[in-house]
Structure 1
Amino acid sequence: MKWQKRLWRPEPSFRLLGKLLQINWFYVLLICVLAGVGYLALYSAGGGAARPFARPQMVRFAFGLVMMIVVALTSPRLLRLLSIPVYLAAITLLTLVLRMGHVGKGAERWINLAGIQFQPSEFAKIALVLALASWFHRIDIRRMGNPLRLVAPALLTLLPVVLVLKEPNLGTAVIIGVIGASMFFAAGMRLWQILILVAPIPFLGKFVYAHLHDYQKARIDTFLHPEHDPLGAGYNIIQSKIALGSGGMWGEGYLRGTQGQLNFLPEKQTDFIFTMIGEEWGYVGAISVIGLLSLLVIGGMLMALRSRNQFGRLLALGISVDFFLYCAVNLSMVMGVIPVGGVPLPLISYGGSAMLTMMFGFGLLLSAWVHRNEPDRVERASGR
């Protein structure tokens, strides 16, 4: 009977079980496999020992995995309510970094929270995705042609970009800007508006370079001519290329990489972790890791396309773009395609901030998938 069906509501335990079954467990498996690759690489980076890198990283991953499942089960309505408080928290942390941040490698990027070092710029990327997805969810796509509708989300994007630039952290600031631009485009921004925003960029190169810090200019100069200072500024990228080349097709063998095990390879547990993988596992191993990373990006994009509501689409897209940029920048950096920028390889490089914020982001992406059939606000209003 129809009236009985309307009166009956499933028990919370049944709803929770239904949501758990809706989670894309194949995607979760891919995340776990990549974390396992990270454990093996960090075990090797630690000289064949679980400490000081591999074991702490797995503890963070275990915590992040639980957090990811909890976030995946959270309703989009609650996430939309929390979007602005989360964004404001990220902006507050970025402001605190400029006042009391920990200095490392020429920049203030870390802040101590309850004795734990945290990098707010990583959290700011996820907070921006959540805030923009919530904002554009409230706007009818037919009104996106009105430039006034774009002022508020533009300010939401520019504020963290400016604060991260002041640390200074040029690489992360650019990634935040690209994430924001991609969400503008996905939300229905007109092509002529995008062209107006992008047109001045080529003419700003000389101005931006003139205002860079000395260490940032050195990175660019080293990228163009690493051989001019092979034992100084050019040392990192030269050693990275040597390690990648020495891996050959099948690699030198696990725990047998000469550049990594003899400590010629700098920052092998963070920025250059992929170089160690290429040296020990060779071309086949490196391509396999890139394939796994690509599957996560493609899977996230497909989940975004399957969402019936604007909030879920933009949320999944923003997290996927963030993950893609992480991977693209790190891989390009260690191969010498772009200047070294201190961007880790997600799920593999050692680091708590990047790991936990990325797992939180994956939770948001999976939440968009679990609640993909929830109709959009515009659809409900029109009765569709």
Structure 2
Amino acid sequence: MPRRPAGRLPLLLTSLLCVPVSAAVLRVGPDEALQHIADAARLARDGDTVEIAPGRYPGDVAVWTQQRLTIRGLDDGPVLDAAGQSAEGKAIWVVRGGHILIDNITFRGARVPHLNGAGIRFEHGHLRVTNSRFIDNENGILTSNDPEARLHVENSVFAQAPRHPGALHHLLYVGRIAEFTLRGSRVEGGYQAHLVKSRARRHRIEYNLLVDGPTGEAAYELEFPEGGRARVVGNIIGQSANTSNPALISFGAEGYRNDDNRLSLCHNTLISAPRIGARFLSVWQHAATPSPEVMACNNLLVGPAAFAQGNPGEFVGNLSLPAIRPDGALDFRLPANSLLRGAVRAAMPWHGADLRPRHEFVLPYGTRPLSPPRRWAPGAIQSPRP
């Protein structure tokens, strides 16, 4: 009998094991073999794509545990109405996988008995959410405290916090994770709690519209209760006259848990309603920990609120206006002939980071690229208003 060449079988088995299995596309919809999202969550394998047809999916809650997965709504996107249901008593969707992308999905009406239900409960891995909408949920997105988790939210909407007296429903609440990015998104309509609250070690808040609106009653618009390293650039942040808290942005209210605590706040448009004690920024100092580093530059301050007063750090090129538009329209551009154009210099690098905005927020949500202007103006929007 001929002898098999030495090493041939192990090599063949190794090569077979390394051949990738073709990823599948699972389609969910009333005219598809899979009519329930929960079935797709159970059947999907690593590397697959789940496509969900537009329409309403009441009570179709799910848990996602895959290591690599894309979940995408088609056309106008599906609406996931909780309809009194929740996955594991937590959320419409629970995500605790690896690298997960969720695109073009609407999450609506999350409710649970302990009043902490979420559109998405993110527990582990790296989650990217794009072009999605979170409406009337007790929390839009709520994360765990996994120190290795990363959350990236882009071009999405969070709105209409439930009005439950005594309950705190943050539209977006990030726990003690490694990294959180919010970009090109619109957050509005809070009630007693905050629009955005993050305990992450690193935060990137860029080119968003965080404006509570005339009927909103949020407390802080943006809060970092435990400090960390926060980059806040190119945002429009506005507080309602009905707020329960006079400050727009808060940093370190509960102390500093991280070794690196620094806030860069540059080229934002900050809008405060007239009220006693109003503050654009509160940077908290605690006797047991060193003061954080703060760089605040080229912000446009709209309304009679305090900014640098009582806050540690460096404040450069922050200029004030009594108002932008008397009609309250969401048009935050300065006129082309505004005297504020050319009134500030380009932001200098800070700790090696470029603080100049590279994009601008555009309505209804999203961003557009921004070429460096010849004359910089303070604020988030460089494009002129006719």
TM-score (norm 1): 0.28
- Structure with the greater alpha carbon radius of gyration: 2
| Structure showing greater relative contact order (alpha-carbon pairs closer than 8 Å, 6 or more residues apart) | 1
